[in-house]
């Protein structure tokens, strides 16, 4: 029998999460003493992510009893994407060159091939995992592939395409969340040492530095005092576009399901897929208008507030003790993610890609629109939009890649 959490009330859980964020930001801005030294080793963002997870793991809060993640992902995330992309400089992003795309596609290939390799390594001597047969296991793993290449919509598509049983799917969701979250935590840690790593790898970061410089210059040129009025205007733009995106996606997804059922397998029948695509598209369109100057009154700052709430809501879903319930399934997930990371490191060294491209290329696959801009923003707030655009590409490729991965695992299982 599971222990009851100390706090399961939704408002109470949200309050605890916000207090945690407040304490982290307060202590990380202290200029001397213990915390000043502590944060020189531990990135503050890592705590924003892990503390809610520890609170959930030790039954202080009950994440499953709340809609905090749903609200964050459906309302704060699209509004955040709008505010992050409305100041995007597409020409400057394109000028980053092909390395960003190469690393993104390398991450995709790492997941497509890593799944079958991990599946073979763990099951070659066991013939299955726990109570799952080889057939049940490979089908379940396709949902992890869908999530790690694209997102939740692609994951749901794989569940239907490969007829995954509910008990298998529930285990794979835990594998997906925990392994992906641990990898994200590692990237957060590495990002704080990006300069040293890039110097050692002799990576050329000039195009990234140029993009940052251009974005900073634009921000300074349009900078104005942040007022109540400006925050209301930014909220109106962010949530106004979010509302429009919800309305369009709620009609578009059912229309596609009814009239073009063959497109459902490509995630085009998912309301969440269209919500992200439409919100991002509106943000990019606004970047070609005077709305781009909203960056001067704090568009990205308000977006970052939304992002940190989202980070905490992602972290609070983690239960570190779940890993002990089905270790073999987690061995597969861990080997899978290690192969993905190793391939990125090898290709990154060959083409001398900056750590930024590795981290964002990975998270645009594994984390999607929820975490790619978070990781990109660690390197510099101006780079968040790069993560957003690559994440959208991940949604498009997710079903294709996961289906191929599933076919390869099916060959091993048969």
- Nearest CA to 329 among 190, 179, 164, 188? 179
The phi and psi torsions of 268 (rounded to 5 degrees) equal -75, -10
- Give residue 244's pLDDT: 97
What is the tens place of the pLDDT at every residue in 361-374? Answer: 888 888 766 677 77
Given pLDDT bands bounded at 50, 70 and 90, which one contains residue 210? confident
Is 91's pLDDT higher than 80? no
Given pLDDT bands bounded at 50, 70 and 90, which one contains residue 339? very high
- For residues 64 and 261, the answer to whether their CB atoms sit within 8 Å is no
**Residue 90 tokens, joined:** 């597409």
Q: What percent of the chain has pLDDT over 90?
A: 23
Average pLDDT, the chain: 83
Given pLDDT bands bounded at 50, 70 and 90, which one contains residue 87? confident
The phi and psi torsions of 387 (rounded to 5 degrees) equal -65, -40
What is the tens place of the pLDDT at every residue in 226-252? Answer: 889 999 999 999 999 999 999 999 999
For the chain, helix (H) and strand (E) counts, in that order, are 19, 2
Name 61's bridge partners: 7
- Give residue 364's pLDDT: 84
Distance in angstroms (rounded) separating the CA atoms of residues 169 and 173: 6
Residues recorded for the chain: 414
- Give residue 1's pLDDT: 44
Average pLDDT of span 205-219: 76
**Residue 67 DSSP SS3:** coil
Residue 202 belongs to what H/E stretch?
none
Look at 64-78, 149-163, 234-248, 311-325 and tell me which has the smallest mean pLDDT: 149-163
Given pLDDT bands bounded at 50, 70 and 90, which one contains residue 343? very high
Instruction: Give one DSSP letter per residue of 37-102, joined into a string.
Output: HHHHHS-HHHHHHHHHHHHHHTTSB-GGG--HHHHIIIIIHHHHHHHHHTT--HHHHHTT-THHHH
- Give residue 269's pLDDT: 80
What do you get for the CA distance between the two ends of the chain, in Å?
37
- For residues 99 and 351, the answer to whether their CB atoms sit within 8 Å is yes
- Nearest CA to 93 among 356, 270, 343? 356
* Helical axes 271-286 vs 77-85, angle rounded to 10°: 30
Higher pLDDT residue, 276 or 396? 276
Tokens 């957003």 correspond to 388
150: buried, middle or exposed (CB in 10 Å: 19+, 13-18, 0-12)? buried
- Tell me if the pTM is above 0.85: no
Average pLDDT of span 349-366: 88
Is 261's pLDDT higher than 80? yes
- Give residue 390's pLDDT: 78
- For residues 226 and 259, the answer to whether their CB atoms sit within 8 Å is no
Higher pLDDT residue, 392 or 71? 71
**Residue 151 tokens, joined:** 């997102």
Measured at the CA of 84, the angle between CA 81 and CA 89, to 5 degrees, comes to: 125
Distance in angstroms (rounded) separating the CA atoms of residues 343 and 366: 14
- Give residue 292's pLDDT: 84
Given pLDDT bands bounded at 50, 70 and 90, which one contains residue 84? confident
Distance in angstroms (rounded) separating the CA atoms of residues 366 and 120: 21
- Give residue 132's pLDDT: 75
Look at 35-44, 97-106, 228-237 and tell me which has the smallest mean pLDDT: 35-44
Give residues with Cβ within 8 angstroms of 6, minimum separation 6: 59, 60, 61
Distance in angstroms (rounded) separating the CA atoms of residues 251 and 217: 40
Distance in angstroms (rounded) separating the CA atoms of residues 61 and 313: 12
């Amino acid at each position: 029998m599971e222990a009851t959490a100390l706090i399961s009330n939704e408002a109470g859980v949200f309050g605890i999460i916000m207090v945690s964020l407040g304490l982290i930001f307060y202590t990380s801005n202290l200029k001397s003493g213990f915390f000043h030294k502590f944060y020189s080793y531990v990135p503050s963002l890592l705590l924003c992510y892990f503390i809610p997870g520890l609170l959930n793991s030790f039954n202080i809060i009950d994440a499953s009893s709340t809609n905090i993640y749903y609200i964050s992902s459906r309302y704060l995330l699209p509004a955040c994407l709008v505010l992050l992309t409305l100041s995007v400089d597409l020409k400057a992003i394109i000028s980053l060159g092909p390395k960003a795309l190469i690393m993104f596609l390398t991450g995709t290939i790492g997941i497509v091939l890593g799944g079958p390799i991990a599946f073979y390594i763990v099951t070659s001597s066991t013939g299955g995992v726990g109570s799952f047969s080889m057939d049940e296991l490979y089908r379940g793993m396709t949902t992890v592939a869908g999530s790690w290449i694209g997102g939740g919509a692609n994951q749901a598509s794989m569940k239907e395409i490969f007829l995954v049983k509910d008990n298998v799917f529930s285990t794979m969701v835990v594998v997906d969340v925990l392994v992906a979250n641990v990898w994200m935590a590692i990237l957060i840690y590495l990002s704080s040492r990006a300069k040293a790593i890039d110097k050692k790898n002799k990576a050329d970061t000039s195009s990234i530095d140029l993009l940052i410089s251009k974005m900073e210059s634009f921000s300074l040129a349009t900078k104005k005092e942040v007022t109540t009025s400006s925050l209301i205007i930014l909220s109106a733009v962010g949530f106004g576009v979010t509302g429009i995106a919800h309305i369009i996606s709620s009609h578009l997804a059912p229309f596609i399901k009814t009239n073009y059922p063959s497109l459902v397998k490509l995630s085009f029948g998912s309301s969440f897929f269209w919500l992200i695509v439409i919100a991002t598209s509106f943000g990019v369109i606004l970047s070609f208008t005077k709305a781009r100057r909203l960056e001067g009154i704090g568009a990205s700052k308000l977006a970052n507030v939304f992002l940190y709430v989202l980070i905490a809501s992602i972290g609070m879903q983690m239960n570190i003790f779940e890993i002990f319930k089905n270790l073999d399934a987690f061995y597969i997930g861990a080997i899978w993610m290690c192969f993905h990371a190793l391939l990125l490191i090898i290709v990154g060294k060959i083409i001398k890609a900056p750590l930024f491209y590795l981290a964002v290329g990975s998270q645009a696959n594994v984390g999607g629109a929820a975490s790619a801009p978070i990781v990109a923003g660690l390197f510099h707030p101006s780079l968040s939009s790069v993560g957003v655009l690559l994440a959208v590409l991940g949604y498009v490729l997710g079903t294709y890649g996961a289906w191929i991965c599933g076919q390869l695992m099916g060959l091993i299982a048969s």
